[in-house]
Chains A and B, each alone.
Chain A
């Protein structure tokens, strides 16, 4: 198979806005899946509700488009019923960390053998741009017209603290690195959490003085700080550049996992 064979071409072009990065993440995921020679019949994609959660609808495998926030609950069920299936979850920041927050921490605690790919656009995209738990402080959204005054969730720290085996963060600009990281995550027994920072030009960029896709993507590119470099800066007690976020493999360990293929 090639990557193209994993798409449901009759459903394309997809509903994502022009310049939305969700499509790039689907490409990276399918490239990783394809490189592992997984079988269509043994792979299941699960998602909740949101723009990001539309992703499984464009993939040929069996999939579950579930209720808002409950993708992980359904995925846990699929994996426990049949350990031989490869289960991949697509979710959004609101889906995963707001309404689905409890499912998220417990899936990490159980360390169940899933791969969770969170498309973090820092906003509720589908419903018109309300603030999510990942909206950065100061950012404008329809529910924070004077700027977000709450701190944002660090989903990777949360997943690590709750017990996930593999945690990494990339952006939709770093597609090569992202593909490699997703591949590592897919191979890892236990819960693999991959957070992908992604541009939502329609509902985030437009309100936050990032007028076009290029502005959004360049901002992500310029503020991504490699884990290795971050560690070096910390060791040398140098200041961390303002507004930057760490990318790379953040956690890679082998805690006991649930539902691993025998």
Chain B
């Protein structure tokens, strides 16, 4: 699964930046065309839900999605299996 932020809905509050245990969300540095500083994703493939939700058939962690007041965060299935190297820091 792939983590995506809907930049039409995001209002740039940075609550996701505060809560992600992997610090995947980084404060946005450039405004989009609506003037919103949408957070940038830092190696989103580290996200627990991206890696394991299909295996467990349910949403794992997902705290960013629940706290996002603007319903802007979701996971979409990836086009096809793209192997990538995942480095997890503890």
Interface residues of A (CB under 8 A from B): 4, 7, 12-14, 16-24, 27-28, 31, 172-173, 175-176, 179, 213-214, 217-218
Give the docked Cα–Cα distance between A28 and B15 (Å).
15
Give the docked Cα–Cα distance between A28 and B69 (Å).
10
Cβ–Cβ contact A18 & B18, under 8 A: no
Q: Is B67 an interface residue (CB 8 A)?
A: yes
A-B contacts, 16 of them at CB < 8 A, read: A13-B8, A13-B9, A13-B70, A16-B70, A17-B11, A19-B69, A23-B69, A24-B66, A24-B67, A24-B68, A27-B66, A27-B69, A27-B71, A176-B66, A213-B15, A214-B18
Contacts of B36 in A (CB 8 A): 18
Partner among A4, A7, A27, A179 whose Cβ is within 8 Å of the Cβ of B68: A27
Contacts of A217 in B (CB 8 A): 15, 18
Cβ–Cβ contact B70 & A14, under 8 A: yes
What's the least CB distance linking A147 to chain B, in Å? 28
Interface residues of B (CB under 8 A from A): 8-9, 11-15, 18, 36, 63, 65-72, 74
- Given A4-B74, A7-B71, A217-B18, do A19 and B11 touch, yes or no (CB 8 Å)? yes
Contacts A18-B13, A214-B18 aside, 12 further interface pairs with beta carbons under 8 A come to: A13-B71, A16-B69, A17-B11, A19-B14, A19-B15, A20-B69, A24-B69, A172-B67, A172-B69, A176-B63, A176-B66, A217-B15
What's the least CB distance linking B66 to chain A, in Å? 4
What's the least CB distance linking A6 to chain B, in Å? 11
Cβ–Cβ contact B8 & A24, under 8 A: no
Partner among B12, B14, B15, B74 whose Cβ is within 8 Å of the Cβ of A24: B15
Cβ–Cβ contact B63 & A213, under 8 A: no
Cβ–Cβ contact B67 & A18, under 8 A: no
Give the docked Cα–Cα distance between A166 and B58 (Å).
29
Q: Which residue of A lies closest to B8 (CB)?
A: A13
Give the docked Cα–Cα distance between A7 and B74 (Å).
14
Q: Which residue of B lies closest to A20 (CB)?
A: B69
Cβ–Cβ contact B14 & A12, under 8 A: no
Contacts of A4 in B (CB 8 A): 74
Return the 9 tightest CB-CB contacts between A and B, nearest first: A23-B69, A19-B13, A18-B11, A175-B66, A13-B9, A24-B69, A27-B66, A24-B67, A175-B67
Contacts of B70 in A (CB 8 A): 12-14, 16, 23
Contacts of B13 in A (CB 8 A): 18-19, 213
Contacts of B72 in A (CB 8 A): 13
Q: Which residue of B lies closest to A9 (CB)?
A: B71
What's the least CB distance linking A143 to chain B, in Å? 26
What's the least CB distance linking B75 to chain A, in Å? 11
Contacts of A23 in B (CB 8 A): 68-71
What's the least CB distance linking B2 to chain A, in Å? 16
Give the docked Cα–Cα distance between A69 and B17 (Å).
36
Cβ–Cβ contact A13 & B67, under 8 A: no
Give the docked Cα–Cα distance between A4 and B69 (Å).
13
What's the least CB distance linking B48 to chain A, in Å? 14
Contacts of A214 in B (CB 8 A): 14, 18
Give the docked Cα–Cα distance between A14 and B71 (Å).
9
